[in-house]
Amino acid sequence: MAPTNLMYIKGKRSVRLFQTIASKVATKPCALLVKQPPLGSQIKDADLLAQFKPTLNVSSLIVDLSTAERTMTESLEFFKSNRHMILYYEDIINNPKALSDVQEFLRVPFRKLKSRQVKIHIKPLHEQVDNWYDVYSTVQGSQYEHFLHSSDYIS
């Protein structure tokens, strides 16, 4: 039997690339709190994290986006011959059935599960990136221009 792989991918494809690049090339340091507090505290932590606005290095942005896209494509190709499931962050947040789908995929006994995921970024990209206008002018006219018009994070 082929190995079973569960791939958890945070964010939709159009914004995932920006998240990948933001985490690699942000010029401002970011302190992340890693803990499993009660839900009320998680919401406060999410609000705190949502205040962070990365500054992207626009001089290498297109190359970095291409590299990230190629890496994702190669990763998906690598797992193509294995039994796998791609699970998006939005699936867990918006679809109550997503966790039972994961259990079914993993072939484990069904248990009622509840995700304690808290959506951190609910604003459009232009409100989340510190140097958005530089990013916009760099990406506009490129093969990644469609990312500028994404509404993935608008609630």
Q: Indicate if the pLDDT at residue 16 is higher than 60.
A: no
Residue 150: CB atoms within 10 Å: 15
- The answer to whether 128 touches 121, Cβ cutoff 8 Å, is yes
Residue 59: per-residue pLDDT: 96
Q: Residue 5 pLDDT > 50, yes or no?
A: no
CA angle (11 as vertex; 42, 61 as ends), nearest 5: 115
Q: Give pLDDT tens digits for 85-143.
A: 888 877 877 887 888 998 999 999 988 887 777 777 777 788 888 999 999 999 999 99
φ, ψ (nearest 5 deg) of residue 30: -135, 125
Encoded tokens for 106: 């993993």
Residue with token string 């997503």 = 98
Domains of the chain, residue spans: 4-149
What pLDDT was estimated at residue 70?
95
Quote the CA–CA distance of 26 and 82 in Å, as a whole number.
Answer: 34
Q: How far apart are CA 91 and CA 153, in angstroms?
A: 13
Q: Are 69 and 143 in contact (CB under 8 A)?
A: no
Model confidence, pTM: 0.57
